[in-house]
Structure 1
Amino acid sequence: MKVLMINRATVFTVPGGDTVQMVETAKAIRKHGINVDIRLANEEIDYEGYDLIHFFNIIRPNSISRHVKKSKLPFVISTIFVDYTEIDRKLGGVMLRTASQLLGSDWLEYLKVIGRSFLNGDKIIDNSYIFRGHKRSVEQLLNSASLLLPNSDNEFKRLSKRYRFKSEYLKVPNAVSEEFLETNPNNNKSGIVMVARIEALKNQLNLIEAMKGLNTTLKIVGKPAPNHMDYYQKCIEQAPSNVEFLGQLDRREVIAQLDAAKVHVLPSWFETTGLSTLEAAARNCNVVITRKGDTQEYFGDKARYCEPGDPESIKSALVKALEDKSELKDFIKEHYTWGKAAEKTIEGYQHVLKQKSGYNLHKNG
């Protein structure tokens, strides 16, 4: 079997959870003898020899539709359906808030795509997106996909509530790499760490407010997103002395920070999973995470939850998590490894190719 993975053009220059999910899934799938190539949505691609395409990010249909039409191959989508509605309406500028309230979420996403094409050079790859609009583009892909691969059942329910489609789905939970599951010798953990891009969605400003008056430290790991430099500057200006910005770190350095910290916090306005929270839990951190999104399906009663718009809620969850016993590592190892995610993904691939009557599967080599 030979699989082509395609993701947004900025997946490596502006990395996020989808970057980790794609790279680690590919790595784990290759261990099963399946050939996987990774390409960017803005590249010219020769589709010859591939059995199917695996796309990521349904909220970026412009990165998908052209390749669907040109390749004529069966395809699956890791939907990674993030809902920006609340943050746009609460934290956006006057124009953004007004547009969100008057036009709705899909129209706003459409305007963002147009804006990124002018401001960031994030080109519109399929011109039909301009005429079709965001919602119709998403629904067309959802209906023509051979299989959807959401990270949770709740993600699929949210997707079904927003859009009209009939495609099947197979849940493929997010996971942690083997490096995060290695033995952590440090039993003297203290303080708080947050690993995430610095941007309004991740909510560092309210976290910084929650840290005021707490007798512990917070280390923020990550770089600001390209369009959020003003937000980053506000974070720096408002941070008290117990908050430190460490910038972007490599994986080994991130693991070292997680090994030192008692608590990892991710008080985002929305998370499908919170990959950095899974990784922190694997390093035996207690975790504080947002209620918004699909996080409770992953962590159940093993996390402290907070309301992102309420700094006192964040502070209360942090105080409790600092006192909790750390016991998440075994839970993560049992349920959330990329090996398990790869097995579910391959199950999806095999299901799709089996359904294609008369389809000649390309052999390895």
Structure 2
Amino acid sequence: MKVGYVIPMSVAAVNGGVRTQATFTVQHVREFGVEPVLLSPWNDLQEHELEMVHVFGASVENSEIIPKLQDLQIPVALSPVFYSNHPPSRIRKIIGIEKFLSRFGSGIRSDFGIKSKLCRQADLLLPNTSDEANLIMHGFGVPEAMIEVVPNGVEQRFSKATKDAFVKEYGIKDFVLFTGQAAAPRKNVIQLLKVAPKLDVPVVVIGDFGNNKYSRECLSMAKEASNITLVPTLPHDSELLASAYAASSVFVLPSFYETPGIAALEAALAGSNIVITKHGGTKDYFADYAEYIDPDSTTSLLKAIQRSLKKPKKDLKEVIFDKFTWEKVAQKTVTQYQRLLN
């Protein structure tokens, strides 16, 4: 099976979840009989004789490629990578207003409108969570038959991580950890920085801050707290990153939403307890093993961390390993490719 893969060019500048998801999907579908072809504007699509194309991201960057593939009669699977805290009714209303205004002139396109159009143009949608699937169904009006949830995944290597390297480098262990795009307001790390002084354990934030107002506010808070350690972004394949997960007691993602946050999967597989936002479908992955928080409430976050620090490390590591390794995700993905082509 020869499958083309398309990702937004912007992921080259941000080593985030979309890039990780696409990279490891491509790497592991080979194990199930797929010959992957990485597509870019430098390629001539037709020279590859593709059976189908898998597009990552219902974004404006991909708004032209899907209809072009349709013109070439090449089936398209789309991983939308979409979530919003707006209810479906509000999303429908925004799209309706956009359609009404478009009667009076072209060029009026909302983010919801673009994503909705791409989701309806694709032949098969592969969201990462049930919450994402529900938004697509009820917000965009996509039939359920076109949607199949395929989860995000995690590398098996994190299950073998040890704390030694991080403890040797920084001299701390049993801490509360955040890692990710610290400068992105959606990740909401500022809430963790607010509650950090009220915790009796170290707090480690791995990730780079920018030079905007939000980042400056975060850095100011971190400087004032004696128990916060800031670490620059570590490469995803870094032994030190895996070791940080293993050395932590609790991993925190206080984001406004996650689907589900690949870093949280990695931390869970390394043995850390998880505190995570309740929005985005995170319960699909962490079930009753994690503490879920309201990202707008520092009280919710503080209490969840305190509870998690007292909890024994239960069976979450085994659950993640059994269900969410990239090998298992790739197998589910290829099953959906076969469904689309048959």
Q: TM-score under structure 1 normalisation?
A: 0.79
Matched with 2:154 is 176
Q: CA deviation at 1:202?
A: 0.7
**1:235 and 2:243 aligned:** no
**Cα-to-partner distance string for 1:88-128 (whole Å, 9 max, x where unaligned):** xxxxxxxxxxxx99x959999xxxxxxxxxxxxxxxxxxxx
Matched with 1:63 is 61
Please say if residues 161 and 242 of structure 2, whose CA atoms lie closer than 8 Å, have aligned partners that are also in contact: no
Please say if residues 202 and 268 of structure 1, whose CA atoms lie closer than 8 Å, have aligned partners that are also in contact: yes
Q: TM-score under structure 2 normalisation?
A: 0.84
The separation in 2 between residues aligned to 1:169 and 1:282, in whole angstroms, is 28
Q: CA deviation at 1:53?
A: 1.0
Counterpart secondary structure, 1:333: helix
Cα RMSD of the aligned pairs, angstroms, is: 2.6
- The aligned runs of 1:30-179 (5 Å cut-off) are 30-39=30-39, 43-48=41-46, 49-58=49-58, 60=59, 62-71=60-69, 72=72, 73-83=74-84, 85=86, 104=94, 130=107, 133-166=110-143, 168-179=146-157
The separation in 1 between residues aligned to 2:67 and 2:2, in whole angstroms, is 19
Counterpart secondary structure, 1:293: coil
Please say if residues 285 and 320 of structure 2, whose CA atoms lie closer than 8 Å, have aligned partners that are also in contact: no
Please say if residues 28 and 330 of structure 2, whose CA atoms lie closer than 8 Å, have aligned partners that are also in contact: yes
Q: CA deviation at 1:324?
A: 0.9
Matched with 1:116 is none
Matched with 1:345 is 333
Please say if residues 106 and 134 of structure 1, whose CA atoms lie closer than 8 Å, have aligned partners that are also in contact: no
Matched with 1:334 is 322
The separation in 2 between residues aligned to 1:177 and 1:286, in whole angstroms, is 18
**1:318 and 2:319 aligned:** no
Runs of 4+ that moved beyond 3 A: 103-108, 129-137, 183-186
- The aligned runs of 1:270-289 (5 Å cut-off) are 270-289=257-276
What is the aligned counterpart of 1:309 among 277, 296, 300?
296
**Cα-to-partner distance string for 1:325-357 (whole Å, 9 max, x where unaligned):** 112211111111111110111011111111xxx
Matched with 1:206 is 191
Please say if residues 291 and 305 of structure 1, whose CA atoms lie closer than 8 Å, have aligned partners that are also in contact: yes
Q: CA deviation at 1:296?
A: 1.4
Matched with 2:6 is 6
Please say if residues 85 and 105 of structure 1, whose CA atoms lie closer than 8 Å, have aligned partners that are also in contact: no
The separation in 1 between residues aligned to 2:285 and 2:309, in whole angstroms, is 21
The separation in 2 between residues aligned to 1:306 and 1:135, in whole angstroms, is 26
**1:268 and 2:246 aligned:** no
Q: CA deviation at 1:85?
A: 4.8
> In the alignment, residue 233 of structure 1 is paired with which amino acid?
R
Please say if residues 257 and 277 of structure 2, whose CA atoms lie closer than 8 Å, have aligned partners that are also in contact: yes
> In the alignment, residue 302 of structure 2 is paired with which amino acid?
K
The separation in 1 between residues aligned to 2:19 and 2:129, in whole angstroms, is 18
Q: CA deviation at 1:283?
A: 0.3
Mean Cα displacement is larger for which, 245-254 or 164-173? 164-173
Structure 1 residues 154 and 341, CA gap change in structure 2 (3 angstroms):
same
> In the alignment, residue 300 of structure 2 is paired with which amino acid?
S
Unaligned runs of 5+ in 2: 99-105, 165-171
Counterpart secondary structure, 2:276: strand
- The aligned runs of 1:254-265 (5 Å cut-off) are 254-265=241-252
The separation in 2 between residues aligned to 1:183 and 1:213, in whole angstroms, is 29
Please say if residues 252 and 274 of structure 2, whose CA atoms lie closer than 8 Å, have aligned partners that are also in contact: yes
The separation in 1 between residues aligned to 2:123 and 2:82, in whole angstroms, is 17
> In the alignment, residue 81 of structure 2 is paired with which amino acid?
I
Structure 1 residues 107 and 316, CA gap change in structure 2 (3 angstroms):
farther
The separation in 2 between residues aligned to 1:106 and 1:179, in whole angstroms, is 47
**Cα-to-partner distance string for 1:122-161 (whole Å, 9 max, x where unaligned):** xxxxxxx945554443333222211110112222112222
Counterpart secondary structure, 2:133: helix
Please say if residues 178 and 251 of structure 2, whose CA atoms lie closer than 8 Å, have aligned partners that are also in contact: yes
